[in-house]
Structure 1
């Protein structure tokens, strides 16, 4: 196999900050890193070519690039700078012009190389009988198999340098308690290089003097399941890359038909999509314009019934962005914000309602403005129509369409590019918005100040499909 130097990009810094009622706000300024790049015609051309492909082909390209060592993100078919750089690097390494646009011949070469690499390590997707998780395992490298003494299964290399475990946590355990216990391990020289705890999962990764380790636990109503891998630093150039492939394959609670067996899964199982009815998972976010009016850029065309909290939307004006007219008065008030035009590379916050597994919350995701009509950020379901606010507290615009299902790799939400309806177009289209948007009464010096202004002025939108 032609192993390239590892390019893991699984480490993301995050700041979680609770803001007082009526809602909790989760703030995450550190994703993504600020961008200072001007619009690049080469990237735009590569984006157009990539997005013209069927989704299965787009995912297949990213999966192939994981195996060539050029990509370390989630294989979700979404174009971003990391995907562009990975395709360009692959072309360069194979003696082709590095345009970032893969021809049919390029894609065939990529898939052939990926198949060869997968075959060389015997990478198979298995559904583990002991733990119930679905996982990709390099069976030729981890030829020894048996039970994990702590529950679950174990695959190990013949020389003992690599160990891959699955496990099920005891019934009385919680993610928080297991997380704390893993952080408290005092092995000499053990250093945690990355950690993240969320309501439904946690990830801890790090190093020891001789090796590396990566652990992920996921929780649901049915229990807590996990996998972990530890490996000697002498095999890191090979296994750093395989950790990305394994993490991409991990499904803690597969829903495939038939009995659970420890053998290659003929059809990979996938998690159930989030529910978008009954207010359980917000479909989008809206900006209050008056007692009975809400503005949103969320794609509502396919919704049979639209609700904002317990009130039904009785009329929709426009073809997007939409001005929603309610059947009853709303709690809240128009935002004390001023409209602004964003500069390339400017940092911003996207305020949106979502469900992170611990109930409905107002979430704030960091974003970087790419141009006047797009941003890059780690957005989740519920961010469609969400206001984009500058660090100074000005309204830059509304997110057009965000993901309809959760996107994560190893528990990390990857950044992607999203369209934005600029504030100036909104004020032209809806004159009432221009009269409402005014400069804040007091300067906003922190994200908490912005959240204090925004939280009473936006609402979650749900729809019945």
Structure 2
């Protein structure tokens, strides 16, 4: 009888532990799929940088994503629930940002190899041209990356894989994968590990090969997956203003979310959503503009923590903030604006409450406390704060020109600066000066389904304009034309406040 009782107890415990594991997986899936497309991809990318996720970034939830989230939580001494609290998300972002900064990861347009890819330039600091691409090597020679392109005129893509995996006494292939126009081969060459990937594109194969010694085992594992997830044949690149980072050579290219006009050396323009990486990108923009005096703002908002970091830096440096005509600064962007020693706004300035899940109410209140402390330090009047606290997260309070003066929002002398990014609308086509990008899908059917959902959910924001599907190679984008960047940013801000995802560019860029 005692043995039977013990068996029953053991079975109950086994059932309870199994049920708890599945409950965690289901809860994790529900939480993850509530995130925006950008947030899901960013979470997987951050987990890659910390060595917890070993798969390509796709924004899709699966066992690998669940286990990576749980592994990160356990590494922090917390329960591996698979559901990140706001505190854990900030910790993940901060730690991944430190790795990103240490490696110096930048998007490089490698023209000789016909590719664009994220490369750890601080680690692979020595660059030399090759016959088919470029070689990037660490200072000690123990970590290398070689980009290349191969014509498929005389051989098939599969035949190239056979060449890469053919018997070789100096090479041991431990993994190979082929499909959907991409193949991966990895293994050992003597004491070195290697990872090779090729993609079929426009009659050629473009790719890269990484090799690293045992002292770089962690960096090799992280970098191989990170590069594979952020690799694009140049023929399929999106417009330049959509790129998050640009190669730091020649002229004054964008620094992530920032534009550095060549003819205005005292100006930096924020022209994108505020992500967890934007504050680090701002540091790089400041380093590239040592004589900066004015920070212009055109953003629908985004990460509060990142915005507060930039605001603190602007206030310390006593910089002027400026919202140019036909542009807008909303939500978290407003905290950056208020940090300016002098503040001018010819475009729109909008505020609302901080958005947060009920389960994270305590953390939301802590974040709100940080915001209120910053606004007090910046000398923001109580009327401004009252409008912010009274406006729901799914709405936006835009200050009128009269209120900008009445509430002491503006300070200093008016600026004689022209910041022109938008292009005029084309009456013949009914096009707009800006585009709100709402979704990106791999086929037309999924794009149409996404378009229908978006139109049904946010039709009240769109007026008479309706989302449309545009194809660019194998990518199908759901987008909305807008008459100005100002209007586009207002729409995107409202969508983000309601839990959606989007970003804005000038039309034709």
Q: Looking at secondary structure, tell me which structure has more strand per residue.
A: 1
| Larger CA Rg, structure 1 vs 2 | 2
Larger RCO, structures 1/2 (Cα 8 Å, 6+ apart): 1
Instruction: Name the TM-score, length of structure 1 as normaliser.
Output: 0.48
Instruction: Name the TM-score, length of structure 2 as normaliser.
Output: 0.44
